[in-house]
Structure 1
């Protein structure tokens, strides 16, 4: 009887593994690949002026194939269910294995494809391998449902937003954006391909790095505020910023304490109160990487140099205005595009800055490393401002010791 029960249990377990646990994925080796990551920066518009605009939900196809009638029928690479991006793109593939929705906030994201290696110490697992050379790239509108693109009704297949040919060099890293060039004009939607250079730079492990892009559409900041799409949250970026903005950095020492402080004024780390970093110029056509600027991983002398709770505030001011002569206040949301704020703090309500600016995660990576739990690591960051919202992409370049 015991042997029969063991045999029955083995059969059940084998069947369970066969139907649920063992999924074979066939990968095609790519010789001399390039590395690609794609973000859909197009907004869901909600004003009456654009009530008939198509929903920005896409299927991406690289090197498409066509049937006898000329309609697209497949492709070498298919990235389906591409939705509008999320505010934070972390330094690891956070979406793979997620089963709550088929919607993909980036490519590769949830796609089970060959990804990039660790290249010169940088983790490229959030970038997909693609063939190098000239590739035809298409983005096709699709209904917002859970039906795979090529299983849709025939009438719903073939609605093209972008059809272009792009050149990808082997072993190079690319970030692609779907952008709106002119506000409320869906015909101006386009692809911007940015060739990254972070993996080639001699960056220090003791410094954090960040660069900035304003990918907002022409005419967004000048448009009627009541007709602008719903922002990520209510803040002083929601109505847009001007085409040329100076960027200032303020660092606070302790996000646990500062998150509950009623007044942050006077708590800044010495030497990092409204420090000018760079000037950001709006462009939806320039594919070259912006210059990275740096700040210390451990800006506070009181830090242990193993871990830090410091966090960052980035302020964007129009030229001629800065933290020392700003006419705007912490209750101002509509600054006519002259001031915007990003608070890089993980948790809690920031009473002074968090009530006015958009909140994003800390640029310092705090994770378990060996006997240290946590340990702080510097990172390489990109901040992109698009039509009233800010997005943060973080890249990790130094890895923790094994946990014991």
Structure 2
């Protein structure tokens, strides 16, 4: 895994520095922000255009903060632009993995590929995946745009008229925010934003524990809709594709080897109840974090662990002991879904085909004299309309010794 980029707020992002030194192009000018907030943006409009929704706009966006509008309502400029904002990817790793990568301008998050000032290491946490934004009140507009490689302000006028969201946000100084573009109502197709002020950087979290919290930000009415209409099977998300009920209980299991069988579970972590998850795309409170030991597997050497995590989502009244559905049940009536955070580079074993598989919450990386060494992280799992997304945040760690 790539090392964290410890980008201070007076330095260029990695891609900007590479552009300047390798190509010799003119230097990108960055204006110092005296009183910043830190903002990260995801496009959660994860629908696909088909015959049933051919009249919907393609979920490919441009974000404009404090735009200058012409008399005809067409944006002319903006203080901050996040262009080519594509549908988010299932995993947002603890480093800015998209900077300077790929041949396309499509951006799975903001800042992502954008050459902007980013956050510092704050209270030990790497904020280089968050952009600096002047604190205060801002107008923020999300525009639909065609899926091509033409910058937004270079598009034809007729292609710069499709407003998705036009609203205001308030960002407090030195605070960390995650902003989501969401479909709020599945039937009416109403869209909106969800701005969350994070608190992980303020909590007294232990280096020896892995933390995770959960959100179900699905549209109202999504899980009740017909599965064929919402294309659940096309998502390839197992039982989760049909959506979670508005209230589900979450259970954690930890495994010490690649087998998903009960014999591989770590004692004390075989279907441990964590919390009740309620659908919410409006209230902006941070969900509580739950934790488990980095070295819960007593057979590990205290330096490296291959432990992986499984989360089961059950309707109230159900758990691992009375689950009537098999691992490969094609339909669980929205009563059960599961998610594995599996071992990096390993293939899920038979019996795990009907689950969602995401990267492990334990980061293994070369640090000091150990290659690899295991580190605990802070994680967020977000469920949006049949999709599961994992965001991982990591503390700074000692560089490798060669």
Same fold per TM (> 0.5)? yes
1:156 is displaced (CA, Å) by 0.8
| Residue 218 of structure 1: aligned partner | 220
Identify if the C-alpha distance between structure 1 residues 399 and 352 changes in structure 2 by more than 3 Å, giving closer, same or farther: same
Rounded to whole Å, the distance in 1 between the matches of 2:66 and 2:206 is 39
1:22 is displaced (CA, Å) by 4.4
Contact 1:264 1:352 in 2 (8 A): no
Rounded to whole Å, the distance in 1 between the matches of 2:333 and 2:118 is 42
| Residue 80 of structure 1: aligned partner | 83
Rounded to whole Å, the distance in 1 between the matches of 2:164 and 2:330 is 34
- CA-atom RMSD, angstroms? 1.7
| Residue 190 of structure 1: aligned partner | 192
Rounded to whole Å, the distance in 2 between the matches of 1:324 and 1:252 is 18
Rounded to whole Å, the distance in 2 between the matches of 1:116 and 1:371 is 29
CA deviation string 1:161-214 (max 9, x = no partner): 10001111000000000111111533x100110010000000000000000000
1:400 is displaced (CA, Å) by 2.7
Rounded to whole Å, the distance in 1 between the matches of 2:97 and 2:347 is 25
Contact 1:221 1:336 in 2 (8 A): no
Aligned residues: 382
Unaligned ranges ≥5, structure 1: 1-15
Q: Answer yes or no: is 1:334 the counterpart of 2:357.
A: no
3-state SS of the aligned residue for 2:102? coil
1:352 is displaced (CA, Å) by 4.7
Contact 2:327 2:352 in 1 (8 A): no
Identify if the C-alpha distance between structure 1 residues 152 and 17 changes in structure 2 by more than 3 Å, giving closer, same or farther: closer
Identify if the C-alpha distance between structure 1 residues 285 and 234 changes in structure 2 by more than 3 Å, giving closer, same or farther: closer
Query: Whose Rg is larger?
Result: 1
1:159 is displaced (CA, Å) by 1.2
Contact 1:34 1:130 in 2 (8 A): yes
Contact 1:47 1:229 in 2 (8 A): no
Rounded to whole Å, the distance in 1 between the matches of 2:322 and 2:386 is 24
Contact 1:377 1:398 in 2 (8 A): no
Moved more, 326-335 or 356-365: 326-335
Q: Select the residue among 248, 256, 272 that pairs with 2:269.
A: 272
Contact 1:312 1:362 in 2 (8 A): yes
| Residue 61 of structure 1: aligned partner | 64
Rounded to whole Å, the distance in 2 between the matches of 1:314 and 1:60 is 34
| Residue 374 of structure 1: aligned partner | 372
